[in-house]
Structure 1
Amino acid sequence: MRLWKKAAGALKDRYSILIAKLSPNGPCRNPDLETVIIKATSHDEQCMDYKNVQRVFKWLRTSPLYLKPLLYTLSMRMDKTRSWVVALKGLMLIHGVFCFDFPSVQKLGRLPFDLSYFSDGHISPHKASLFNAFVRSYFAYLNQKSAFLRFEATKEDKISVMGELQTLRKMLGLIDLLLQIKPRSPHMNVVLLLEAMDCVMDEVLEVYSKFCKRVHLVVGRIIEIGGKEESSVLLEIVKKVEMQGDKITTYFDFCRDIGVLNVSDCPEILRIHEKDILELQKIRDGGVFERKNLEGNNKGDDTGIVIYENNNAIVLRDCSATAIISEQKQSNLKTVITDQWEVFDDDLIVDAVNSASNGTSTVPFIATNNPFVDSWSIVPYIPVCSNYVLPDLIIL
C-alpha cells in the first residue's frame, strides 16, 4: 500500500511537470520555473528537496519579476493538492521567500492561496486530522506574517509611540500563532515534519528577539516622555508578555523532547524591571509629570521653572535681586511699596497669558482642578506700571 502510494505520487508529479513544459510563456507563466517548483514540492514525504528549493530561490535572486510566476504556480498547486506532504512543502517554500528583502514580498499582504480548511485525502481520517492541524496552523502563521510585513511596509505613522505599541500587539499575536505549530502526536515523528519544525524554531528565535528589543525601546521612551494612554497599553502588553514567557519555555522543552534538531537553548525570556513597571503605573495613574529644564535635570533652580508633581505646581522664582523700597515714616508706622511682588496663582495665570499673547511666554500654564480657574478671563487685568508713595491708611 505504501509503495503504491509513493508510485502514485510520483506519477502525479511527472504529469504536472509535463503540463508545465507544454504551457506557454506569459506574465504569470514560466515553464522552467514551474518545473523546478513542482520538483521542490513533490509528493515524496521522505524529506524536502533542498536542491530544487535553492534553484527556485536562484530564480528569485536573479530578478524580483520572477515572484509573480512563482506565486502563481505555487498557488495553483496548493489549491489543487489534497496531500499534506505537498501542502507542507509549499508552506516551507513560501516561508523561505519571506527572507528576500524585496518590496514586492513585503507588500504581498495575505498569501495568494488558502489552506485554512486543508484536509488530506490519502490517509486515514484519524491520522489525517493530526497532519491537517499542523498544516493549518503553519498556514495561519505565514498568512498573518505576510499581512504583518505589509502593515510594517505601508504604515504611515512609523515614529509615534502609539504606532509602535500597535506593532508590538501584532507581534504578540504572531508569537502566539508560532507556538501553535507543533506535532500533536508521537506518531507524527517523520523527517519532513521535523524539518518544518526546524524552520519554525528559527522563526521563533528571530521574531521573539526583535520583539524584546522593541519592547525595551518603547518602555524607555514612554518613561521619558510620559503619556497615560500609552503607558496603559504598554502595561497590558507587559502583562501578556509575562504569561507568554512560560509558554515559550514549555514549547522549547517540547521540541527538544520530540527530537527537533535545530533546538538551541531557550531564548532569554523578556522581563521588565520592577522599577520601570512602577514608573509606568505612576504615569498611567497621573502620579508624576515633570518638565525638564534646559540642562536636562528635574530639579528646580532660579530660572523660574515650574515643576509639576502630583498635579500640583511648585513655582520657583529668583528672589536674589535687591528690592527697591520706598518708605514713608509717620508716627513710627510705615507703608512699604516694592516691585518685588509676592506671586500668587492668579498672577501667574495672567502673566502666562499676557506673555503668550506677546510670544514671549516662559511660564507654562498651571494645571489645576479648580472649576473657576477660567474666571480671570471675565475681568481684564490692568497691571500697575509705576511706583508711588501712598499715605498711611492705618492712621486715617
Structure 2
Amino acid sequence: MGEIGAFWSGLKRVKPYLAMVSLQFGYAGMYIITLVSLNHGMNHYVLAVYRHVVATLVIAPFAFVLERKIRPKLTLPIFLRIMALGFLEPVLDQNLYYVGMKSTSATFASATVNVLPAITFIMALVFRLERVNVKKIQSLAKVIGTAVTVGGAMVMTLYKGPIVDIVRSGGTSHHHAGGGTANGSADPHWVTGTLMLLGSCCGWSGFFILQSFTLKKYPAELSLTALICLMGTVEGAAVTLVMEHDMSVWQIGWDSRLVAAVYTGVVCSGIAYYVQGVVIREKGPVFVTSFSPLCMIITAALGAIVLAEKIHLGSIIGAIFIVFGLYTVAWGKSKDHRAESTPLIPDEKVSTSELPITDVRSSNGEHRVYKQVDIPTIPGKNHLQQES
C-alpha cells in the first residue's frame, strides 16, 4: 500500500508538467495545420470564429453535466471579465498570430512566441502574482531562466547561420503563400509579421493573467472555458463582419480548412483553455507560459518534415538555450511551491500519541498550556501538571 501511495503522490506532482508538455505537442500540430489551411485560402478571421464554435459545442455539454453542482453564480463583474477573456485570446491574439504567421513561417512564428514567458513574467510581477526575492535562489532561477529563454528566442530570430540538413529534402525548400520563406528576412512583410506576432504575445499574456484572477472568483474550469469560447465566437463573428464584407469567406468544405477548424477548436481552444486553467490555479500563469518555448522545437521538426522548411544552425543553438531556460524556470517554480508548503510541516509532525494539550487562560489574562498527565488521584492535588 505504501508503494502505491508513493506512486500516486509522485504522479500528482508531475501531472502539471506532463499536461503542459502534452499541450505543446498539440500547439505544434496547430502551427502546421493552420498554416496549410491559410495557404489554401482560409480566412483567418473566419478560422478563429469556426475554431471557437467547435470548442463551444465540445466543451459546453461536459461543463453543464460535470459542474452543475459546483458552478458559481455568474455575476456582472465575472461576466465582464469573461467578455475581456473572449476578446484577448480568441479574437486579438489569434488573429494577430495568424496574420503574423502567414507573413513569415510556422517555425519563425513559434520562435517569436517564445517571448511569451518574459511578457507574462513582467505582467505577473506588476499584478503581484509572482514574487521575486533576489536573496532566494529560486527567484533568481525564475529570472535567469526567463532571460535565457528570451535570449534563445532572439538567437533563433536574429541569427540563421548555415542550413543543417537534418531531414533530407533533396535541396528543395518550401515557400509560403504571402511571401514568407525560410530566409524571409528580406521579405518586406517580415517586419510587419513580426510586429503582429509580438502583439499576439501581449494579448495572450494578458489572457493568462486575467484568467488567473477570474478563476479565483469563478473556480469552475470547464464552465469558464465554455463561456470564453462562446464569447470568443460572438465577438469574433462581429469583428469578421466588420473586416470582411464578402460573405463567401464563410464557406468551408471537406478539406484542410475544416480540419484546421476542428483540430484547433478541440485541442487548442477547448482542451487547452481547460488544462491551462487547472494548472494556473495550482502553479500560476508564469509556470504555464514557461513551457511555450518547447513548442518551437517540436514545430521546427514538423516544419522540416511536413513543410520542407530549412533548419538553420541558429535554430538549433536557440533551441538549446530555450530548453535550458525552461528547465531553470520550472526548477525555480518547484522550489517556490515547496517553500510555500513548508509552514504546514511542523503542525503535521505532531503525533497523536503525544499527551493531550489543555489550553487554560488565567484570570489576569495570562495564557498557559498544560499537558494532561494520567496519575493516581491525590487529595488536594490538581490533575494538570504545567508543561516545562
Could you tell me the TM-score, scaled by structure 2's length?
A: 0.28
Q: Which has the larger radius of gyration?
A: 1
